[in-house]
Structures are given as C-alpha cells and as structure tokens.
Amino acid sequence: MKSEELQNVVAGFTHEAFGSQAVFRTSLNALSYPGRPIEMPLDCALPRQGQAAAAALLLGLLDSDTTVWMSPSVLHSDATPWLRFHTGCKVVEDVHAAQFIWVAYGDSLPQISNLMLGSDAYPDQSATCIIETQGFDNGVADLVLQGPGINGERLLNVMGLPEAFLDQWASNHGMFPRGVDVFLTDATHIVGLPRTTSISRKAKA
C-alpha cells in the first residue's frame, strides 16, 4: 500500500476478536431469518465512503485468503485501503474471481449469473454479495419471501433495490444448490437473503 493511503486509514474494530465474532454472529442470524432486518454492531471506526453496516460486515468476514470486488463508489475511496489494511484481503477487478461483492448504493449491480456460483458438488464455493439500499423502514412492504427460516411467508419493505434485481434473483434461486447469497444493507442494519429464499412481488389488492 502507498504511504499516502496509509495516512488516511482509520482504525478497525475496537477489539478485533470480539468485533469480528459479533459481526459473524449477526451475519449468521440474518441468514437464519431471511428478510428480517438485523442491527449490525458497529464497534469500529469506519471509512467515509460506503454504508456503515456494509463496511462493518465486510470487516468481520474478510481475511487474507479472500478476494473482494468493489463497485466504483467504494473502490475509488478510502474504503479500499481501509479494508486491505485491516483484513489483508485482495481487491480484484474481475467480478467472476471475487468471493465477496460490495455494491454501493446507486452503483450498477453486476449480473448475478456472472458471479462465482459454486457447483453442485461444492455449492459453498460461491460468492457473497453485499448490496446497499435506501433502507427497510419506509413505505409499504411489497416483497413476499418464502423458504427455509420463514414460517409461511415474510413481507419485506426495501427501498432502492438495484434495477432488475428481482429477475436476477429468480434465476439465482432456480440454480440451487448453486448460486450466491446476498446481504442487503442500510446504514445500520442488514437483511440476509440466502439462495434458498424465493422472492416475489406482493399482489395488489
């Protein structure tokens, strides 16, 4: 890393072990209850660019053996040296080679079918995608979620999903056991969407 990049890197977790464990537990909880907004512990300094919940999630999940692709808004900001310094992760240009994808709000979502999808024999060798949104507490819940971890169905309101996300998600869900898992974020919360979850629009009354 260049010295000028290091000069602007803020601290990571207040206590690295406790902080990463708390984030990991939160991520598992979110995937166990798909569609339920879960508050992200933010016991860390954060870069100026990118949502706090997304940055903290990646800080807790990445390490020196992982690769990450970052959309332009976060790639060309202080978020990149911050993640590289604190996790040792490798930032890659080829989205297909990335184990983690960070899509900042307003940036284009890569085609999900072009991501690392795993195989029938090794479905765990797939990407995890973190997508920033405008939030989960405004407007009317218009998405219907069904699948493991959901009793019947769960309604989800999310503002600012990338265009064509639902169509791409339908294809992703249909590839099970292959496919990616997704975390949606706002400033302080995450929502887990494992590939086992089906998502549809709520029928209008």
Dist. CA 101–CA 70, nearest whole Å: 6
pLDDT in tens, 30-47: 999 999 999 999 988 899
For the segment 174-202, the average pLDDT, to the nearest whole number, is 96
pLDDT for res 170:
96
Report domain extents, the chain: 3-201
**pLDDT value of position 20:** 92
In the chain, the percentage of residues whose pLDDT exceeds 90 is: 81
Note the pLDDT tens digit of each residue in 149-174: 999 999 999 999 988 899 999 999 99
| Tens digit of each residue's pLDDT (9 = 90 or more) over 59-105 | 999 999 999 999 999 999 999 999 999 999 999 999 999 999 999 99
Give residue 202's pLDDT.
85
CATH architecture, domain defined by 3-201: 3-Layer(aba) Sandwich (3.40)
Strand residues in the chain grouped as ranges (E): 38-39, 67-70, 90-91, 100-103, 128-132, 143-146, 154-156, 181-185, 189-193, 198-201
